[in-house]
Amino acid sequence: MTSSAPSTSPTLSTAELIALRDSARSDYAKLVERGLSLDLTRGKPSPDQLDLAAEMLTLPAGGHRAADGTDTRNYGGLHGLTELREIFSGLLQVPTAQLIAGGNSSLTLMHDSVVHAMLSPLPGAGRRWADEERIAFLCPVPGYDRHFALCERFGIELIPVPMTAQGPDMDVVERLAGEDAQIKGIWCVPKYSNPDGVCYSDETVRRLAGMRAAAPDFRIFWDNAYAVHHLTDTPVEIADLLALCAESGNPDRPFIYGSTSKITFAGAGVAFFGSSPANVSWLLGHLAKSTIGPDKINHLRHVEFLRDEAGVLEHMRRHRELLRPKFDAVETILAKELGGTGLASWSTPQGGYFVSLDVLEGCAREVVRRAAEAGIALTPAGATHPYGDDPRDSTIRIAPSYPGLEELEAAITGLTVCVRLVATEKLLESAR
Amino acid sequence: MTSSAPSTSPTLSTAELIALRDSARSDYAKLVERGLSLDLTRGKPSPDQLDLAAEMLTLPAGGHRAADGTDTRNYGGLHGLTELREIFSGLLQVPTAQLIAGGNSSLTLMHDSVVHAMLSPLPGAGRRWADEERIAFLCPVPGYDRHFALCERFGIELIPVPMTAQGPDMDVVERLAGEDAQIKGIWCVPKYSNPDGVCYSDETVRRLAGMRAAAPDFRIFWDNAYAVHHLTDTPVEIADLLALCAESGNPDRPFIYGSTSKITFAGAGVAFFGSSPANVSWLLGHLAKSTIGPDKINHLRHVEFLRDEAGVLEHMRRHRELLRPKFDAVETILAKELGGTGLASWSTPQGGYFVSLDVLEGCAREVVRRAAEAGIALTPAGATHPYGDDPRDSTIRIAPSYPGLEELEAAITGLTVCVRLVATEKLLESAR
């Protein structure tokens, strides 16, 4: 996924470095003078992506009845509308009967899963997590800051695991999960991962499903946020975790999440939870105490608009038309400005919402700071790591989706100036 | 609120009782023969009430922008739309800045409040509730079964407190809350209470706000579910709990809840949480870990439809036109069939969704069982009490809103047959 690994000692002479730094300083001064105000921080759909679903604002147009006659306006129906779950069953690799359609946020479903595990024993658990001395989660890094924040909020210890091009380093995962019964979970974004666009290989998924876990209540938090968010003609398929877990005798291991936040409306989509029958009953039993049911009108609205699985894929093709030029622009500018310099490497994702930029060790924070001074807002360096601590201080997450193409190009070009400036200053400093 | 207290020994001779029982038996046999299938279990709006908001299905029609220009389709805005909070600020007696508009369920906000108090210390608390040996809530009875179920799910002890015509018996509340630091909360439905329609007097609200509580983190869970759900020309106003608590030096005591579930759509409304600035910050801080914001399009939809406070009240007048005949029918039938018999008493609520029927001690379960056998589904007897245990076995909750008027009349008439049958059998048995 990564075009080249950044070296900490590019083969440039001191004179060449000084020339590079001086030109970067001059470019940076001009950049600051432009007084930009650009934002690459969050993976938000752009207004024109949201416009693709404009029709939804005034749906449902066909009345308020679900396929089975349910009045979607009234209370009830904890599972969510069957016809909506049917549309997403194949896409999320969860049988319809084991798939719950909820409110507008999959993060909420992840949060609620942790909350209920804190306060009630999971299937297979001896006791609730709140009564454990210590709980830990494995966190493949770089990863998603909101996963980490959710765990930190509950005092759950975060253990980083290195990512490879095939997913988390499974030798490390198997060793840690196999020996430490206090490790209760692992965060996974298995397809087009946030931020580096990795897709888990079949072998990785198979090992996750089949490995020994010391904790009887170990769970894989499978945040399949980008299941259909392809950027190429050859959509990536990942292995079926739920089926593999069941085949391996670990049916209750996966908690699967998805949503339409980046399909229809980011703030008004529908979130999904899928798992084994035992886990689904466990969650529904607790949800029943906190709600009389999700917003079924919004479910119906989604069914009318998306129609079926093919409708989802066709809609995603239109998103791709808007997103692909932005990702191409990022790749083109990074290659033009930083290619062959040895000062940075970056991912070229085949889907999802992010590009991961790796700068020389010890430079990421300074690059983000310099960019901010030039009016280019980036996700804080370190956010991709537990506790905001990237020990190499080298990963920067780029979110190209929200700005317009021209703004994006200006921001990425400016960012490369900051990378050249900080890297050359650093190299010259350590050469002294 | 209650027309007459049921006596356990009506002044009827044995002969009169036998005659009454025999006629009830004959009526009951005919009732069973009719093979009814009627449902008085839950406080659901009827389809014609939901039709009042039919226009909302295809809103917003005026685009996707909030008043401040926010794109409601995208992520963000944890507080909810300001203009929606402004509409409900006065109605819920909470300043707009201290009012949060959330998802579709106030029960979820109550649940989340308890969850976060379980897992993080409340403002004023020394530790989180999960680390307490024991936690208890005061439960005015009869009350709302979902409040009780929510607490039971977390192992919170439920302590019943008798209701009076002015609200919970404040002598009991003050004594218990004042002496037991493990009592952390009280459930209140202050206006048109579920199920007996009681409205808390100003004196009750003042005492709740000002009383000494042994627990520094004592909270009043103020479920103002029926704030605008009047059935008469003289809407009841209750005292301003939030202001009174602040004046009394207990600003963080109230947690205030409301929703549009019984205003617009039961399953697709908007829920509200209001409290002191400290409590609002506390809840928002935790919500920020579980969501990137509520469904703001649904907020906008509500703003377009309801417009302002006057729009809400006008809309509620139309609900009243549909609900009032049903409540009148219940009163008329109960008075005609049971009035003066001493076999039952009942509430004549001035608002809200329920009528509370009190039958002779030890008869409620049997009445509900007999009604079920005759095809009339009622909320399980005891549901109005913690642990489903009504020690007098006398309270039955009637929900008249959902059925059509004719169905309702058939169901209530059938119910009175069951009351007469069970009561006369019981009296004759104890006379033996």
Q: Choose among A61, A75, A130: nearest Cβ to B58.
A: A61
Residue B6 lies in a domain: no
Instruction: Verify whether the Cβ–Cβ distance B291 to A108 is below 8 Å.
Output: yes
Please, what's the b/e burial string for A304-319 (b: 16 or more CB within 10 A of its CB; e: otherwise)? Answer: bbbeeeeebeebbeeb
Residue B74 lies in a domain: yes
DSSP codes, A2-21: BS-PPPSS-S--HHHHHHHH
Q: Which residues of B touch A103 (CB under 8 A)?
A: 103-104, 295
Q: Choose among A47, A74, A267: nearest Cβ to B75.
A: A267
B65 touching A (Cβ < 8 Å): no
CA distance A377 to A327: 18
Instruction: Verify whether the Cβ–Cβ distance B292 to A267 is below 8 Å.
Output: yes
Q: Which residues of B touch A120 (CB under 8 A)?
A: 153
Residue of A nearest to B268 (CA): A295
Q: Choose among A60, A74, A153: nearest Cβ to B289.
A: A153
Residue B201 near residue B236, CB atoms below 8 Å: no
Q: Which residues of A touch B61 (CB under 8 A)?
A: 57-58
CA distance A169 to A188: 12
Q: What are the tokens at A141?
A: 């890094």
A57 touching B (Cβ < 8 Å): yes
Instruction: Verify whether the Cβ–Cβ distance B295 to A149 is below 8 Å.
Output: no
Q: Are residues A394 and A294 in the same domain?
A: no
CATH code assigned at B251: 3.40.640.10
Residue B61 lies in a domain: no
Q: What are the tokens at B90?
A: 């006065």
- The nearest CA of chain A is from the CA of B57 a distance in Å of 6
| pLDDT of the residue at B11 | 72
Residue B209 lies in a domain: yes
| pLDDT of the residue at B432 | 74
DSSP codes, A223-235: E-TTTT-B-SSS-
B104 touching A (Cβ < 8 Å): yes
A60 touching B (Cβ < 8 Å): yes
Give yes or no for a cis peptide into A6 (omega within 30° of 0). Answer: no
B118 touching A (Cβ < 8 Å): yes
Instruction: Tell me the mean pLDDT in the region B8-37.
Output: 89
Q: What is the count of structural domains for chain B? A: 2
Q: Which residues contact A47 (CB under 8 A, 6 or more apart)?
A: B71, B74
Instruction: Verify whether the Cβ–Cβ distance A50 to B73 is below 8 Å.
Output: yes
Q: Which residues of B touch A106 (CB under 8 A)?
A: none
- The nearest CA of chain B is from the CA of A355 a distance in Å of 20
Predicted complex ipTM exceeds 0.90: yes
> Each residue of B28-68: pLDDT tens digit?
999 999 999 999 998 999 999 999 999 999 999 999 999 99
Residue of B nearest to A42 (CA): B75
B296 touching A (Cβ < 8 Å): yes
| pLDDT of the residue at B7 | 47
CA distance B81 to B301: 11
Q: How many beta-carbon contacts under 8 Å exist across A and B?
A: 159
Q: Which residues of B touch A271 (CB under 8 A)?
A: none
Q: Are residues A270 and A397 in the same domain?
A: no
A304 touching B (Cβ < 8 Å): no
* Crossing angle between the packed helical segments A405-431 and A309-338, to the nearest 10 degrees: 40
Note down the domain range covering B413. 14-50+313-430
Q: What is the CA radius of gyration of chain B?
A: 23
Residue A404 lies in a domain: yes
B268 touching A (Cβ < 8 Å): yes
- The nearest CA of chain A is from the CA of B402 a distance in Å of 10
Boundary of a domain, candidates A306, A334, A349: A306
Q: Which residues of B touch A42 (CB under 8 A)?
A: 75
| pLDDT of the residue at A6 | 54
Boundary of a domain, candidates B255, B285, B306: B306
Q: Are residues B297 and B328 in the same domain?
A: no
Q: Are residues B70 and B128 in the same domain?
A: yes
Count the Cβ atoms, other than its own, within 10 Å of residue B27. 18
DSSP state of A28: H
- The nearest CA of chain A is from the CA of B61 a distance in Å of 7
Instruction: Tell me the mean pLDDT in the region B292-307.
Output: 98
Instruction: Verify whether the Cβ–Cβ distance A73 to B267 is below 8 Å.
Output: yes
**Interface with A, mutate which of B290, B299, B301 (most A CBs under 10 A):** B290
Residue A1 lies in a domain: no
* Crossing angle between the packed helical segments A364-373 and A405-431, to the nearest 10 degrees: 130
- Give the helix ranges, DSSP H, for B128-217: 145-153, 170-179, 202-210
Q: Are residues A226 and A260 in the same domain?
A: yes
DSSP codes, B236-279: -----HHHHHHHTT-TT-EEEEEESTTTS-SSS--EEEE--HHH
B32 touching A (Cβ < 8 Å): no
Put the strands of the sheet holding B219-223 in their side by side order: B99-101, B271-274, B254-259, B219-223, B183-188, B136-141, B157-164, B167-168
Q: Are residues A24 and A170 in the same domain?
A: no
Q: Are residues A295 and A378 in the same domain?
A: no
Q: Are residues B143 and B190 in the same domain?
A: yes
The one-letter code for the residue type at B423 is A
Q: Which residue from A394, A403, A308 is spatially nearest to A353, judged by alpha carbons?
A: A403
B428 touching A (Cβ < 8 Å): no
Instruction: Verify whether the Cβ–Cβ distance A291 to B111 is below 8 Å.
Output: yes
**Interface with A, mutate which of B46, B56, B127, B291 (most A CBs under 10 A):** B291
Q: What are the tokens at B349?
A: 């609520």
Instruction: Tell me the mean pLDDT in the region B307-313.
Output: 98
A266 touching B (Cβ < 8 Å): yes
Instruction: Verify whether the Cβ–Cβ distance B104 to A107 is below 8 Å.
Output: no
| pLDDT of the residue at B431 | 79
Q: Which residues of A touch B119 (CB under 8 A)?
A: 115, 118-119, 130, 154
Residue B218 near residue B253, CB atoms below 8 Å: yes
Q: Is the dihedral of CA A135, A141, A143, A146 positive or negative?
A: positive
Q: Which residues contact B241 (CB under 8 A, 6 or more apart)?
A: B93, B190, B205, B208, B209, B220, B222, B254, B256
A102 touching B (Cβ < 8 Å): no
| pLDDT of the residue at B12 | 80
**Residue in this structure with the two tokens 């008439």, named with its chain if needed:** B413
Q: Are residues A267 and A392 in the same domain?
A: no
Residue of A nearest to B270 (CA): A295
Residue of A nearest to B290 (CA): A108
Residue B56 lies in a domain: no
Q: Are residues B231 and B197 in the same domain?
A: yes
Q: pLDDT-based confidence at B223, cuts 50/70/90?
A: very high
Count the Cβ atoms, other than its own, within 10 Å of residue A432. 5
Q: What are the tokens at B404?
A: 């059509």
- The nearest CA of chain A is from the CA of B411 a distance in Å of 21
Residue A256 lies in a domain: yes
Instruction: Verify whether the Cβ–Cβ distance B45 to A74 is below 8 Å.
Output: yes
DSSP state of B366: H
Q: Are residues A276 and A291 in the same domain?
A: yes
Boundary of a domain, candidates B244, B274, B306: B306
- The nearest CA of chain A is from the CA of B95 a distance in Å of 25
> Each residue of B226-262: pLDDT tens digit?
999 999 999 999 999 999 999 999 999 999 999 999 9
B401 touching A (Cβ < 8 Å): no
Q: Which residues of A touch B71 (CB under 8 A)?
A: 47, 50
CA distance A382 to B211: 49
A135 touching B (Cβ < 8 Å): no
Q: Which residues contact B237 (CB under 8 A, 6 or more apart)?
A: none
Q: Are residues B208 and B167 in the same domain?
A: yes
**Is residue B9 predicted with pLDDT exceeding 90?**
no
CATH code assigned at B421: 3.90.1150.10
- The nearest CA of chain A is from the CA of B241 a distance in Å of 25
Q: Which residue from B234, B193, B232, B200 is spatially nearest to B347, judged by alpha carbons?
A: B193
Q: Which residues of B touch A121 (CB under 8 A)?
A: none
Counting as low any pLDDT under 50, the low residues of chain A are 1-5, 7-8
